[in-house]
Amino acid sequence: MKILITGASGQLGTEIQRQLKNGGSALGPVPERLKNATVIATDVNELDITDRDATIAFVRRHQPDTIISCAAFTNVDGCESNPEAAFKVNAIGASNLAQAAERINARLIHVSTDYVFRGEGNKPLDESERVDPKSVYGKTKALGEEYVKNFCHRYFIVRTAWLYGYAGKNFVKTIVNAGKKFGKLEVVSDQLGNPTNAEDLAHHILQLAVSHDYGVYHCTGEGICSWYEFASEIIRLSGVDATVAPCTSAEYSAKHPAAADRPAWSALENRMLACTVGNQMRDWKVALADFFAHWNGE
């Protein structure tokens, strides 16, 4: 099998490549059909997914069986200040990859986000919930989902949340570094969701890559917590000498007026995984502890 990965240098793209190279993850082996897969790893310097003709030509030239789209404009605040760039990458980029995949009858695995939901409620959201984003990031990702559905019939839309991994920037590394630098942190306590280890997400994406159970999936760590609880556990596991205090979203917004609105409730339920390839996503505390057991601190 031949797999094309876009956004390959990010934390998820890097993790997918690691598992394909090593033959598995902490959750188990990669599917048998992927053990000798040919991997085409690309990023914006080689493939600009906002360029339709270039994207279609690149995909036609390499003829992948599966495209895993990890490329996205994920800076939530940056999307608010630069909506045109967010639209090009998150919506038009998704459209171009979907059209390219359809032309060669390839599978497309498109990674999306909990931000497609408004963030209201008190129960985990499954794949049947209606999307209703409020931020520019969420709106552009939701439109990207629609383009994938419209232009490609062999698709998997995989929504995740609060992602962290060994490569790239993420909340875990930010909290560790801020704890070392400042010693005292304030973190929002009234926004709840599911921390997700990139290793767990990559494992399930590779299971989907050999299935025919197309559709929309949620793929997040099990268990729900606030950003404050997440940060507190990060500091505890890191051993950094720092304290974490809770604050409200309103208090945070008053200090950071340019920040985009975040969902107050974005906890997802992995119902489709459980009904198809299986839900092996670990409890968020277990997955976070495993991350610290293997992270080299960089």
137 belongs to the catalytic site: yes
Over the stretch 10-61, which tens digit does the pLDDT of each residue have?
A: 999 999 999 999 999 999 999 999 999 999 999 999 999 999 999 999 999 9
Using one digit for the tens of pLDDT, what is the confidence trace for 72-119? 999 999 999 999 999 999 999 999 999 999 999 999 999 999 999 998
For residue 40, which of 1, 72, 11 has the smallest C-alpha distance? 1
**pLDDT tens-digit series, residues 185-244:** 999 999 999 999 999 999 999 999 999 999 999 999 999 999 999 999 999 999 999 999
Give the tens place of pLDDT for each residue, 135-160.
999 999 999 999 999 999 999 999 99
Query: Is 251 in a helix, a strand, or coil?
Result: helix
Question: Tens digits of per-residue pLDDT, 239-285?
Answer: 999 999 999 999 998 988 878 778 899 999 999 999 999 999 999 99
Q: Going by C-beta distance under 8 Å and a sequence separation of 6 or more, which residues neighbour residue 200?
A: 25, 27, 219, 221, 280, 281, 282, 287
Instruction: Tell me the domains of the chain and their CATH numbers.
Output: 2-170+195-223+267-283 (3.40.50.720)
Q: How buried is residue 83: exposed, middle or buried, by Cβ count under 10 Å (0-12/13-18/19+)?
A: middle
Q: Which of 115, 137, 147, 155 is catalytic?
A: 137
Residue 208: predicted pLDDT = 98
